Every structure is written in structure tokens, then in C-alpha cells.
Amino acid sequence: MSVFSNFFSRKENDGEDDISIDVEQEAASVPINQNEAMYTAPVEEPLWGAAARWSVYFIALLAPLWFLPITENPVDGNKIFFVSILTLIGCVTWLGMTVHGGAVRIPRFMPMYALGVWLIVYLLATLFSVSPETSLWGSSPASFFHLLIGGMLAFLVSVALRTTQTVRTAHALILISAGVVSLFLVVQSILGFDIFPWEFAKARTFNPAGQWNAVGIFLGFILVSMFPFLAGSARLSLLKRSFFMILLLFVLVGTVTVNYRLVWLDIALISIVYLAYAYSRASGQRRMQYAMGPLLFLFVSIMFFLSQDIVNLFYSSLNPPIDVTPSVSSSWRVAEQVFRERPILGVGPNEFGYAWDRFKDPAVNTTVYWRLQFATASSFVTTLLTTTGILGFLAFLVFIGSLLWSGLLLLGKLQPDNPEHQYVSALFFGLLFLISSWFFYPLTVITSVFAFLLLGLFAAELNAAGIVPHRVFIIQGDSTKGFFIALITVFLMVVCVVGLYIRSRKQVAAIEYGRGVEAFLARNAVNEAENFFRRAVVLDNTRYEYYDAITQTSSIKLQRVLENAANQPAEELRESFQIALSSAIASAQTATEVNPGNAMGWRLLGQVYEMVVPLVGGSAEAAVNAYAEAITRAPTDPLLRNDIARIYMIQGDYVKAREALEEAIRLKADYAAAHFRLAQIAIIKGNVDDAINSTERAALSAPEDVGVLFQLGLLYYQKNRYDDARLIFERTTQLNENYSNARYFLGLIYAIKGERDLAIGQFERIQALNPDNAEVRAILENLRAGEEPLTGITPPLTRAEPPVSKEGKEIEQEGVLEESQPDDASASAEE
């Protein structure tokens, strides 16, 4: 390992004297206290210390590469478990080393204290969250537990790596890992070779480091952390220089392959800061020598930032995924609304989705993303405003401010050609890049882990080089203070062991859940899937997703019981019905208790009650109550108004149904389901002519309102006024080419008029927009066979829902069990 740890080191110092720097203006002047005088570092590192150090090494090398195909989130889910376990093991072994050595040695680095303050405030936001369990144990890297793991990792690195040699070994392992990530990009994304056999890993944009743009951020961090070594690489041996240049080339190619615009902007900004540092600390020929590399990267990053459209032409075959997050303006609007209700601590970590549902701008309903519940704002920083409130955001700014203050003081005293100082500046600029990514991108596992890892390496390097001091606490058996230190140390060891146990249980639960998802999607084995989900709940009862999955499988079983009622004995039918219904209701209710702020959990409960409205007394009222609870949590979601209107229609309360549907249309003017149901109400009430007259007046006052036009076309269609309906639907599709339901009825009219080719054209367009719709496929088969389009298909106006559930390119919020499931027959994009 020494080959890599000394990779950038050189013996000569070009006449420059090594200097000791005092970042906090205390290192050189603070007298050694009695504890420090009494403390003597062990000559040989104990086994405890080696275990802690190797935990850090494994994280540095394997965190970007680690994934397992055993859960529903094979990359990030398993990566964060890997880091959590190694961090907890490392902390336990380090605490064991302190007990063994009789002393606790901690760097006196101000940003680490500020990080502790931020984590305490984060804990308060968790305790007062709208859903404390979700905020505490959520699977995202922004949950309190995982952010605490990040803080523990930073602390572990700062205390476990005691020498510059160990810090540089960890840094070299990060570079090796980045080289493998870059090589993976070249082989799979550019050359198109599949490296792993699993289906999810065969996508051209798959990478074990994580999401596509997160990979770009990781590689961008590697690039800027190599700035200090660019000038000194000429003095390395041929082998080391070749390795350095190959690594640099691969990382640059990987960054270009991802081609994330904001990464180039961040590289440009860091390049400017580094150039200012190089110009201020070097002179003459050395100034240009140290500025040449970063200056080149500045120009390259500006070129790629300004030439995104041109560069993307060469990577069109990759079809990179679009990160869909709210716009900055929408994120701020949600934060403003949260400040009015919960200004101090926000809604709680991991609960941005709750705030989004409650406070999103109704204008979002005009976009293709209106069905999505966003789990994060436009960036991690804008998410913090909503989830941790003013207090949490200020604590975060204190942490960032202390880090910037310490780093900028440090830069003013470093020498660019001093090998030790090169490592210090490399770690600082890499850390600055990762932290700055939090301001423009949501928090991901890879960016979170390496930000905290770099913070720990930065503190460890400063401490090992004598730049910042350390504090020593001696554990003495005859001292009250020593007793309490020993007691706290042992207590923390126990806490870490308990954390290991709990986190391991949750990981096993995630594995069981993943097996259930695989059984359901791959084999349609509902009973087997439900058994796996129930095992997951036994191991981890804090994840509402597990209860939702049980609700869905129980609902499927309930539906099958109802479909096969004629073939079962009465007693057996009654027992099967009660078991399936009880299971579905119990799991749905528990999901609402685990995460009471989740509107979709209440909607799922309402859907369960709705299934048995004709069979169980009081179920209609229970469904209405559940949908009403969902509406209070997502008041701008038109989907929920349509749900509750459906129950009102079943109850025969058409006045309330119309009110709910009109509210849905107010929230989303082109909402096909609401217009469809209003037309059905007019048909049921026998006042189609009156409805036509009022809708015609509405169309005259709003001639480009596609929702009103669609409703008018439906009414014409019902009255067999096909010529009028044809004109209306053609106008509707001109205004909105992706209005699939309008094209559906237009295609039927073409078929009625004998214009079969035009009808086929309409349904082919619908199929292109909704490739999984089985009914559209059946209609096309009928038309091509010369039959009536609705042969074997229920007429559309007699159904409860419009024939096409999704308009055009709308993105639906689907559960894991709904992925890849076809419809039955009956970015970063910003909005």
C-alpha cells in the first residue's frame, strides 16, 4: 500500500522550508495540558486501531463500487448499508482502542464541532417531525440515522488515521476506486459491453457508483482534488507519472461521458478559487507552472458548459436518465408555506414529500409531472429549508461557514510546492466541490459518504501534519473524571453495537422485501410475495412501503375471491373474503399510522374500502373518510377529488360528486377523468341536452380549454352527433397532440364513419404514447382484422374510468409493485 500512499510525494522540497500552520490560531500557542503531557502514543498500533483504520480503507476503496442485486434498490440501498456497518464497526473498534490505551485523542478542529451542533439540531427536527419514524429510519441518505452515520464516519476518519501515511493511503484508495468507476463508464457506457448479468445492470447508463449525474459529481470531485498534483507530476518517476496521467485521462473521459452541466460549472468555480490560491502563493515561473493545469480545466469546463447541445449529439445513443426534481422556484414556494406553519424545525427530515403534497403550486398540474410526489427539493440545501426549518438551516450554515473559514485561513498559509500542503489543498478543494454540489443537487449516497469521508481526511491530515492541535482525555482509574470518560466510552460502544443490530435487521427486511417484489413481478406469485412482505414487517415495522405492499397483495387476493365467488362454497367464500379484507384493511391502516402524513397511504386505504362497497355496509362512508384524509394532506391533487366523487356517485349523491369533480377541474383544467365523469353524471341524470348547452357556452368563453372541449365531445358522442363530436375532438388533438382520450373517441368516430385507416392512425398514436395499454392493442387488432373496434370490449361511456388512464407523456407515481405492469383492458427536468 505504500506505493500508492506515497504516489505524489517527492523527497526534494526545492529549497522551501516546511512550515507549521495554525488554522485556529491556537496550535502553536496553546500550552500542553497535563493530560497531553501524561499521554504517550503506543509504539505499535493495537489490533483495535488497525481494525478501525481498515474500516476506513474499505469504505474509501469499495463505497463507489459496492452494490448487490438482492434488494429493490440494489445500488444505493446496499451501498449505504455497507458504509453504515463499516462505520459502526470502526467506531466500536476505535472505542475499544481508547479503553485499551487509556486515553481519548480528538483533533481540535472547529468544523467537526459545528458538524456536531448541526446533527443535534437535525435530531430535534426528527423528534418533532410529522412522521418521526420515517425521519429517523428512512432509507434515503437524508434520514437522521444515515446523516448521523456520515458524521460518525467523519469523526472516525479523523481519529483512526493518525499519520500522514495512513491519510494518503486512504486518498490513494479513493483514486483507485475512481479509476475503476471511470473504466466501467468507458467499457459499458461508451463501448456498450455488459459487465454484469442482471437486467438492471445492463442499461448503458448503469454505474455501481450510483445515479448517472451523481457519478458525474463524484468524478468531478476527483478532478478538482488532483489540481495540486498537476504541476508536481513532472517530477515523478516514469511509472508514477504514467499512472497519474492515465488515471486523469480516464476520470476526464468519464466526466465528459456523464456530461452533467452543473458539474462543469462547479469545476470552473473551483478552478477559479484554485487559480487565486496558486497566484497568491507562488511567484515567477512557478506561478505559471502551478496555474497551467487548473487554467486548462477552467477553459475545458467552460467549453463543455456552453456546448451541452453539441456534446449531447454524440451521446444520444446512451439515452441518459432525466433527474426529475422540482424547480428552484417551486422548492422555495413550498419552503415559504412550511415556514408559516412550522418555521423552527420544519416538517422533519425525509418528509419533503409531505410538504410537496400539501403546498405544491397548482400550476404543476399543467405539467407531465403532476402525478409525482417529489421526495426532495431541487437540491439538498433547498430541501433542508423545508425539512429542518430555520434552526436546522442556520446550523447547517454554521457548519459550512466554519469549514470555509478554516479552509480559507489555511489557503493563505500553504505553499503549493510543499508535498504535505499539496495533500491538504487537494483534500480541501475536493471537499469544497462535494459540499458545493449540495447546493445544486439532491443528496445522494455517493456524495454524502465522500463529503463526510473527505471532511474526516482533511481533519486527520491537518492533525497528523501538526497544523491543528488535538485534545487528550486520560482514563484514570482513581479519577472521577476518568471514571466518567470510561463510562461514556463503554456506553457509546454499546450504542454502536445496538446500532449494528438494528441496521442489520433493517437490511434483512429490505432483502425480504426485494424477494417479495421479485416474486410478484417475475412470477406473479401473490401469496409468496405477501409472505416475504410479512417477514419484512416483522424485521422492520417502520417502513410504510412494506405495509403498502401487503395491502396491494391482499387486495389482489380479495379481487380474486370476488371473481371466483361462483365456484366456491359459501362458507369457504366467506372465510377467504374476511381474511383477505381484514389483511388489506389492517396493513393499510398501519401504513397510515407509520407515516400519517403520506396522502397516498390514505388513498390506498380508501381504495380497499371502495372495493367492497356493494358487499360491506359502511364501507362507502369509510372510503369517503379515507379519501377526505388524503385530500387534507394533498389539497391540490385532482386525482383525490376524482376518487371521492366516484364514491359519491356510488352513493347516488350526484351533487357532491359534481362539486368534487368541478374542484378537480379547477385544479387541472384538462383532467380527462373528471370531464369524463361529469359527462356520465349528465347521462345518468338524463339531462344531456342541458349539459350540452352549458358546455357549449363554456367552450365559447374558453375556446382553447381542452378539458371543456373534451367534455363537449363526449356529450356529442353520447347523443350520436358524430360529426359535431369529430370536429370537437379534432380541435382538441390540435391543441394537445398527446390527449390520448380525445384521440380514442376520435378514432371510434372515424371507424363509425368508415374511415378505417384514419381510425388506425389515431390508435397507433395512442399506443405510441401508452405502449402498455392492452385495450388499445385489442382495438388495433380488431380494426386490422376488419372487425368493429370495440368487439369484445365494454363500451367506454359505461365504465367507471376513461379508457386511457394516462395522457401522453405523463409520469405516474407508481409503487414498486406497479412497475412494468401493463394496463388492463376494461428531469434534471424541471416543471
Lookup result for grid cell 426534481: 325
pLDDT digits (tens, 9 = 90+) for 434-480: 999 999 999 999 999 999 999 999 999 998 888 888 787 777 655 67
SS3 472: strand
Q: β-strands 470-474, 103-107: how paired? A: antiparallel
Distance CA 564, CA 139 (A): 39
* Higher per-residue pLDDT: 594 or 289: 594
What residues does 107 pair with on adjacent strands? 470
> Which residues are CB-contacts of 330 (< 8 A; sequence separation ≥ 6)?
360, 361, 364, 378, 831
Mean pLDDT of 746-752: 92
Average pLDDT over residues 545-564: 90
pLDDT at 810: 58
Residue 703 cell numbers, joined: 375556446
**Residue 126: its pLDDT value, please?**
96
Residue 344 has pLDDT above 90, yes or no: yes
Residue 17 pLDDT more than 50? no
| Strand locations in 407-483 (E) | 470-474
**What is the DSSP code (8-state) at residue 204?**
T
pTM of the model: 0.85
- Residue 796 near residue 672 (C-beta atoms within 8 A): no
Instruction: State which amino acid sits at residue 731.
Output: R
Model confidence over 351-409: pLDDT tens digits?
A: 999 999 999 988 888 888 888 889 999 999 999 999 999 999 999 999 999 999 999 88
CA atoms within 13 A on the CB side of 491: 6
Residue 8 Cα to chain centre, angstroms: 36
Q: Please tell me the total number of residues recorded for the chain in this structure.
A: 831
Q: What band does 80 get if pLDDT is binned at 50, 70 and 90?
A: very high
644 vs 412 pLDDT, higher one: 644
Q: Does pLDDT of 759 surpass 50?
A: yes
Average pLDDT, the chain: 85
412-437 residue pLDDT tens: 788 777 778 888 889 999 999 999 99
Q: Does residue 329 carry a pLDDT above 50?
A: yes
pLDDT of residue 808: 59
Q: Provide the b/e sequence for 248-270 (b: ≥16 CB within 10 Å).
A: bebbbebbbbbbbbbbbbbbbbb
Confidence of residue 773 (pLDDT cuts 50, 70, 90): confident
pLDDT score recorded for residue 501 = 96
- 131 contacts 596 by C-beta, under 8 angstroms: yes
pLDDT tops 90 at residue 509: yes
H or E element that contains 104: strand 103-107
What is the residue type of 606?
G
Q: Do residues 463 and 163 lie in contact, with contact meaning Cβ atoms separated by under 8 Å?
A: no
CB 121 within 8 A of CB 423: no
| Residue 829 pLDDT level (bands cut at 50, 70, 90) | very low
Portion of the chain with pLDDT greater than 90, in percent: 52
Contacts of 196 (CB under 8 A, 6+ apart): 202
Distance between CA atoms of residues 319 and 205, nearest Å = 8
Q: Which amino acid is at 777?
A: R
Residue 507: enclosing H or E segment and its boundaries?
A: helix 480-523
Query: Nine-digit cell at 107?
Result: 483533533
Q: Which residue has the higher pLDDT, 116 or 800?
A: 116
Task: Say whether pLDDT at 827 is over 50.
Answer: no
**Position 44 confidence tier, pLDDT thresholds 50, 70, 90:** low
Displacement of CA 545 from its chain's centroid (Å)? 15
Query: What pLDDT does 351 receive?
Result: 94
Note the pLDDT of residue 706. Answer: 84
Residues 6+ apart with CB under 8 A from 139: 73, 77, 80, 510, 543
Q: Are 532 and 515 in contact (CB under 8 A)?
A: yes
Residue type at 685 in one-letter notation: K
Residue 470 is which amino acid? H
444 DSSP 8-state letter? -
Band the pLDDT of 831: cuts 50, 70, 90.
very low
Three-class DSSP category at 816: helix
**Residue 150 confidence (pLDDT):** 97
Confidence of residue 180 (pLDDT cuts 50, 70, 90): very high
Distances from the Cα of 325 to the Cαs of 257, 375, 508, in angstroms? 22, 9, 30
Mean pLDDT of 502-521: 94
Instruction: Kindly report the three-state secondary structure assignment for every residue of 531-571.
Output: HHHHHHHHHCCCCHHHHHHHHHHHHHHHHHHHHCHHHCCHH
- Residue 815 scores a pLDDT above 60: no
Residue 293's pLDDT band, with cuts at 50, 70 and 90, is: confident
